[in-house]
Amino acid sequence: MNSSQLFDFLIAEQGHLEEMIGLVQQRLANAPEGKLHQMINHRKYVQSYVYLEEHGTRKYIPNNNSDLIQRLAQKSYDKQILEVMQKRLDCVANTVSVYRTKDPDDILSNIPDSRRNLITPIDEPIDDYYIQKWKSQKHPGENTYEINTNIYTEAGEHVRSKSEKIIADKFYGKDIPYVYEPLLTLRHQIKITPDFVLLNKRTRQEFYFEHFGMMDNPEYSSKAIHKIEMYQNSGYWFGMNLLYTFETSSEMCDMRLLDTMIQNYLI
């Protein structure tokens, strides 16, 4: 869990605790007077009493008054749980306050690039500098297979199909950093060029992305299945660090599924 995820978790936990405390306080405001005392008599029956602290007295509660017994038992639990949740809320609120005072990313962002190159940060912020460095490490342009189209993405990449353009433009429009046809080395030093590599800026997780566009072609589909198996043998699994889409000559890639994939894994 990175610092951004931790802060999001703390904010969510703070809201959850505040909501739960409000519900418990409302129940306590409507709770009956006194505390529940119970004992087992000589016949091994449970006897219930309400103890009134202000008066220092207790009153027997008949077993047929189960509603009062239940509400007093709930009151005892609610008072204990309120104390615990209030302590947790104080702790979380204090931590949130500390996180908001100064972001460690601000320290690095304010350092000039000439000096920043000399520094190894504890946790480098996801800014333009980080993204450009990430892109440069992916070695695009290694695919020597000629591109025989006149199709260009919004970001200016020359791509092999209209579907690749649509997909790339989706990533571009969602501000998801990507590299078209990066170099990837699989198991046994097998080098391939996936269609894209993508970066989730929130989690720093990267995903390789393949679009298999001619799945009704038997030879193509056989190669696509083999390629997926190559990924899996090298530790790349769908949803963990690999994503892919399919289409045929009669069925285009479902952009709604791509949107869901983006939302679930990349944002």
Query: What is the β-pairing status of strands 184-185 and 206-212?
Result: unpaired
- What are the percentages of helix, strand and coil residues in the chain, rounded to 5? 45, 15, 35
Cβ within 8 Å of residue 252, ≥6 positions away:
163
Amino acid at 137: Q
Per the CB < 8 A criterion, the answer to whether 197 and 206 are in contact is: yes
Amino acid at 188: H
Q: What pLDDT is stored for residue 103 in this prediction?
A: 67
Does residue 173 surpass a pLDDT of 60?
A: yes
- Residue that wins the pLDDT comparison between 8 and 168: 168
Does residue 261 surpass a pLDDT of 80?
A: yes
Residues of the chain with pLDDT > 70, as a percent, come to 96
Per the CB < 8 A criterion, the answer to whether 69 and 8 are in contact is: no
Residue 104 pLDDT class (50, 70, 90 cuts): low
Per mean pLDDT, which range of 139-143, 157-161, 189-193 is the poorest? 139-143
Cβ within 8 Å of residue 266, ≥6 positions away:
171, 174, 176, 198, 200, 207
- The CATH class given to the 138-265 domain equals alpha beta
- pLDDT tens digit string along 1-59? 556 677 888 999 999 999 999 999 999 999 999 999 989 877 788 899 999 887 788 89
- If 0-12 CB within 10 Å is exposed, 13-18 middle and 19+ buried, where does residue 144 land? exposed
Backbone angles phi, psi at 266, to 5 degrees: -120, -5
Share the mean pLDDT of the chain. 90
Say what angle helices 255-265 and 162-173 make with each other, to 10 degrees. Answer: 40
For the record, the structure tokens of 184 come out as: 């990837």
Per the CB < 8 A criterion, the answer to whether 248 and 254 are in contact is: no
pTM, to two decimals: 0.58
